[in-house]
Structure 1
């Protein structure tokens, strides 16, 4: 295809035309920015969805979205009257079992004294001991059941797991909820981080001994730029996108909130001497036909030679060239004008 492309432009330039008198420009080289820029999002290190563990109707909902909360503060109350009745019934059964255990214990002690004086047989003592052990097991079982019922009755009052803020409330007072039903979301605003992703190929270029600049455009100008010294690379690569997730802990800054957009600038290091060098030619020097790009390069004999290039992005009046030319080479600035001046 390139051969055909060259033939089409052969009519514009004779292979022996000297470059003298034609406007030429030198391929400019420039050091690329020694940084990697990516976008991220602010999120809370601790963020929790409060969900119901039992069924019931919401009888009290003192918490509202945006409220500040303290650890242990009641956020939601469910109708737990039936559970409270069960707890009282279980406690009564425990008291009855303890009374029976006390009677069995005293009877067992008397039987041991009588046996020591040989007033009763070994069989009678064994029966007393068995009754004592049975009463002990019954009491322990009822105590455990009462503890479970008491614990379950506590599920009807949902409390804050830590001090923080309520992000959202998903229910209203009077709603019927079931186990697993999400009621609200809370987070700790004192510990925030930025999460971003990078292609796995760029990990090797990250400089770990320099500060990272985090820009939060939503903040006031004086607080917008934040310097972070460390970041964590999660040890798992996404198999579909071939990217890795990075996390950066943020210092305490007023106005920060989960969900904010962040722009991150990571210092980068060059893996080779030419890794940060970029080449540019005048944009009007580039000839395009279909998917082919080329420029006329002036050879050492002063003659223009058509050469295919791999273009990069356009920057102002210049075209970045990823492959095809070298720094210092000269290209014809306007091939069509040069053809007309033959």
Structure 2
């Protein structure tokens, strides 16, 4: 029989013993020894992924929408144009305000010259003080009108700039809420976007479990299970909100997700496993498991390389450390890490 080669397979919280076991026909199959390991005892709470930074961008001026440049799923950068509103009316308002400003500035220049002339004539005793008072009042009035015209021009220019709707931050468009040709109005929602680098899971914890979760929050970070992605990730932080729902008697907890997490988006289901202590469990590597309808099992490799399928009763998953086994296998037995290869080998020569 070929010599058995031993190596290690690293996993979170422990090390699986990986052994290349000779099968009955001489081909080697990678196996791992089922063993009892000390792991975190956890409390699982269902939650929903949400974006820390999410915004529904709305129109600020009325007008017909003439262009929409993005759609749901599109990545955008800060300042990128999302949509355009017909700017013809706004452009006419800008032209009118600029004309009014030019007229007000001309009136201001004329009243300034008149005031200075009147001031010199008063000094020479050619006109009365009443004429000077009127010239001074006209000058002040013209200056106020000039400032009002300048503000009106700036306001018209700002309104015209609002016909171009841009992204307030870099992110992903999650919803497009308008179509070309529709009428926009102040407050009309155009698109919704979120920042995919800042996501969190919001879960609700019963008050009866809250003290236990808080007691172990500083010791170990919770693990977040994302079933749709078939991934487990370690949380970056936990925030317990200082309020409780009076109807359900639960407290909301925010669990920060890593910034480089790919594939997650707001609304996705997640399950948070909060550590509440330590316990010992019999674990089997997750990749060694085989699911046939509602039956779970694994291919057990004997000392002489014989392979046979064993039905198992499983407990709770333990993240990357494996899955708890309640019945069907004993400590020290070895299971094939490649069920497909083990099945093919068993059909060729194993039992």
Same fold (TM over 0.5): yes
Given that 2:197 and 2:261 are in contact with CA atoms closer than 8 Å, whether structure 1 keeps it comes out as no
Deviation at 1:136, TM superposition (A): 0.7
| Structure 1 unmatched runs, 5+ | 1-32, 271-275, 277-315, 318-342
- Aligned counterpart for 1:78 among listed residues 79, 85, 91: 85
Please report the TM-score for the alignment, with normalisation by the length of structure 2: 0.64
Query: Structure 2: how far apart are the matches of 1:171 and 1:38?
Result: 37
Q: Which residue of 1 aligns with 2:115?
A: 108
Aligned to 2:237, what secondary structure does the other structure show? coil
Deviation at 1:134, TM superposition (A): 0.5
Aligned to 1:142, what secondary structure does the other structure show? helix
Given that 2:236 and 2:256 are in contact with CA atoms closer than 8 Å, whether structure 1 keeps it comes out as no
- Aligned counterpart for 2:129 among listed residues 102, 110, 122: 122
Q: Which residue of 1 aligns with 2:210?
A: 203
Matched, 1:144 2:154: no
Please identify which structure carries the higher strand content.
Answer: 2
Query: Structure 2: how far apart are the matches of 1:217 and 1:257?
Result: 13
Aligned to 2:242, what secondary structure does the other structure show? strand
- Aligned counterpart for 1:167 among listed residues 171, 174, 179: 174
Query: Structure 2: how far apart are the matches of 1:131 and 1:239?
Result: 67
Deviation at 1:229, TM superposition (A): 4.6
Q: Which residue of 1 aligns with 2:237?
A: 230
Given that 1:43 and 1:192 are in contact with CA atoms closer than 8 Å, whether structure 2 keeps it comes out as yes
Q: Which residue of 2 aligns with 1:89?
A: 96
Matched, 1:267 2:275: yes
| Structure 2 unmatched runs, 5+ | 1-39, 280-325, 328-351
CA displacement, residues 310-336 of structure 1 (integer Å, 9 cap, x when unaligned): xxxxxx99xxxxxxxxxxxxxxxxxxx
- Aligned counterpart for 2:61 among listed residues 54, 57, 61: 54
Query: Structure 2: how far apart are the matches of 1:200 and 1:183?
Result: 40
Q: Which residue of 2 aligns with 1:249?
A: 256
Give the number of aligned pairs. 240
Coordinate RMSD, CA, aligned: 2.3
Ranges of 4+ aligned residues in structure 1 off by more than 3 Å: none
Aligned to 2:56, what secondary structure does the other structure show? strand
Specify the structure having the higher radius of gyration (Cα).
Answer: 1
Query: Structure 1: how far apart are the matches of 2:209 and 2:179?
Result: 48
Given that 2:57 and 2:190 are in contact with CA atoms closer than 8 Å, whether structure 1 keeps it comes out as yes
Query: Structure 2: how far apart are the matches of 1:67 and 1:34?
Result: 41
Query: Structure 2: how far apart are the matches of 1:108 and 1:241?
Result: 76
CA displacement, residues 92-112 of structure 1 (integer Å, 9 cap, x when unaligned): 100110111011112212222
Please report the TM-score for the alignment, with normalisation by the length of structure 1: 0.65
Query: Structure 1: how far apart are the matches of 2:120 and 2:227?
Result: 86
